[in-house]
Structure 1
Amino acid sequence: MTLPVFGHTNPDTDAITSAIVYASLLSRLGVTAKAYRLGDLNNETSFVLKTAGVEVPDLLEALPEGTEVALVDHNESGQSISGLSGLKVTRVVDHHKLGDLSSKDPLYLRFEPVGCTGTILGKLYREHNLPIEGWEARLMLSAILSDTLHFRSPTTTDTDREMGVYLAQIAGVTDIKAYALEMFAAKSDLGDTPADKLLKLDYKVFPFGGKQYGLGVMETTNPGYALGRKAEILEAMKQEKAAKNLEGVFFSVVDILEETNQTFVLDDAHAEVIKGVFGADTQDNVADLGNRISRKKQIVPAFEKYFG
């Protein structure tokens, strides 16, 4: 039986590459595994896979109840495949807080407070004394650079930096900064991408105060692109809120190079929330959240504290 391995919905580079690398690691440890994706790739991830010479994982939409699965880069049902509670999760490798995951049987869990799941996978290779292939190293390096914004994010640890340098040597990446900028340029090249897809490039739903909020993030070297399409994106936010019966939807435009966050705010009610959570005022549907560039470490915890 083949073990499906997958990251979260609206997948980013870490979710996709971690599924591929973990499936490869498990296979080398004698566990037949296959990587899948739960959504479309963003431009950065497509660039990474093409550069590494790796095929895009198949899309996974549903699985029979009771199927054994492995999760990477997430552990909350709201960010996973539909019907996760009916599946048998046997393994989880993640760098996020523990969510609503539950299990009737013992399972393998590997959680570490680092900036990227790729960092943990690199450590697993070392612990099992397995050589890392060049393509595997490139995928893990790419995930680390993406999740830590080239070591700029407050989620970055010394372990991420050390692992990044180690993997770059194996991958043959002699200039990490130049490669990171290539990745970010690919991520920022969005052309005429529909507004609803822009909203979902990196989008997750979180429970705050017993209600559901959608938090989208666009990490870019060209924030002017998103600001120029503000009206379209606000309309997409409005439609998403209504369609999914959410209490609120926010969209943060993170300038990777300047390390700033400009968040789109739908209306006065949303503006009150932003004021309460961050003490930030909203002008023309945009709130300046300063250097809060990490959803995981700076945005979500602030919402959780505000809503208690």
Structure 2
Amino acid sequence: MENLKMMRVTYVVDHHRLGDLTTLEPIYLRFEPVGCTATILTKLYRENKFRINQNIALLLVSAILSDTLHFRSPTTTDDDRLMVNYLLPIAKIDNVESYANQMFAAKSDLSRYTMREILFLDYKTFIFNNQLWGVGVVETFYPNNTLTRKDELFEAMIDEKKRSNLTGILFSVIDIVNLRNYMIILGETEKFIIQKAFNVNVQDRIADLGSRISRKKDIVPSLERYFKNSN
């Protein structure tokens, strides 16, 4: 977030690990190892006895279902399921399976995006062993639609790697039907690291990482372990 250090942060709610946030004064923190921040927000609504209307319930349910891939992601917890079950009648969702599938189908339509926009739909940077890496992810019903356009994606990745002075850049195409991760490999640096960190082969500049679909729980921890052990 731009100008974060100039803002007065009073409350942080998240389901990721704590980063390098520093504040001038004590603040409220609520971090929990759940599948989605919306799970924690739902808890806060309930704990403080705030009424949740239908629109808010729809947003919260959608966020949890999206982040947990309808409870199929390894990040899913019992709390995520409990909060969705609590929210469903408020959101007036009768068939959660149908709702989730419609949501994922809409999410999978990437035709209106350029490849550069797709690269940054869900993109984060990480520091591994003092090296800056970019890791992007797209979750889709139709992985081949993106994989067949990988040459266009390479151009966007090359541009971003140079622009941000990255050591490496990775991009995963997640098949949310078969729960499979196809990682697009830009160059020799990325190829060497992925082969070593995940013990996989790279063919036609794509690494099949199998069921390792979570950046938070599968990809980043494996890269961190590799860089730590390679020192």
Q: Shift of residue 192 of structure 1?
A: 4.5
Q: How does 1:166-185 map to 2 (within 5 A)?
A: 166-185=86-105
In 2, Cα distance between the equivalents of 1:126 and 1:84? 29
In 2, Cα distance between the equivalents of 1:280 and 1:183? 32
Q: Shift of residue 82 of structure 1?
A: 1.7
- Which residue of structure 1 lines up, in the alignment, with residue 209 of structure 2? 289
Structure 2: which amino acid aligns with 1:183?
Answer: M
Structure 2: which amino acid aligns with 1:83?
Answer: N
Tell me, what secondary structure is at the counterpart of 1:89? Answer: coil
In 2, Cα distance between the equivalents of 1:99 and 1:277? 23
Q: How does 1:19-98 map to 2 (within 5 A)?
A: 81-98=1-18
- Which residue of structure 2 lines up, in the alignment, with residue 123 of structure 1? 43
Q: How does 1:95-106 map to 2 (within 5 A)?
A: 95-106=15-26
Q: In the alignment, which of 185, 195, 198 is matched to residue 115 of structure 2?
A: 195
- Which residue of structure 2 lines up, in the alignment, with residue 234 of structure 1? 154
Deviating beyond 6 angstroms after TM superposition, the runs of 4 or more aligned structure 1 residues are: none
Q: Shift of residue 87 of structure 1?
A: 2.1
Q: How does 1:238-249 map to 2 (within 5 A)?
A: 238-249=158-169
RMSD (Å) for aligned C-alpha atoms: 0.9
Q: Shift of residue 277 of structure 1?
A: 1.2
1:211-255 residue CA offsets vs partner (Å, 9 max, x unmatched): 111100010000010111011011111111001111111000000
Tell me, what secondary structure is at the counterpart of 2:10? Answer: strand
Are 1:132 and 2:52 counterparts? Answer: yes
- Which residue of structure 1 lines up, in the alignment, with residue 197 of structure 2? 277
In 2, Cα distance between the equivalents of 1:191 and 1:126? 39
- Which residue of structure 1 lines up, in the alignment, with residue 173 of structure 2? 253
In 2, Cα distance between the equivalents of 1:82 and 1:127? 32
Q: Give unmatched runs, 5+ long, in structure 2.
A: none
Structure 2: which amino acid aligns with 1:138?
Answer: L
Q: TM-score, normalization: structure 1?
A: 0.73
1:4-58 residue CA offsets vs partner (Å, 9 max, x unmatched): xxxxxxxxxxxxxxxxxxxxxxxxxxxxxxxxxxxxxxxxxxxxxxxxxxxxxxx
In 2, Cα distance between the equivalents of 1:119 and 1:278? 31
Q: Shift of residue 88 of structure 1?
A: 2.0
In 1, Cα distance between the equivalents of 2:51 and 2:2? 35
Tell me, what secondary structure is at the counterpart of 2:30? Answer: strand
Identical positions, percent: 53
Structure 2: which amino acid aligns with 1:287?
Answer: A
In 2, Cα distance between the equivalents of 1:183 and 1:169? 18
In 2, Cα distance between the equivalents of 1:176 and 1:244? 41
In 2, Cα distance between the equivalents of 1:270 and 1:206? 14
Tell me, what secondary structure is at the counterpart of 1:130? Answer: coil
Q: Shift of residue 102 of structure 1?
A: 1.1
Query: Number of paired residues?
Result: 228
Q: Shift of residue 256 of structure 1?
A: 0.6
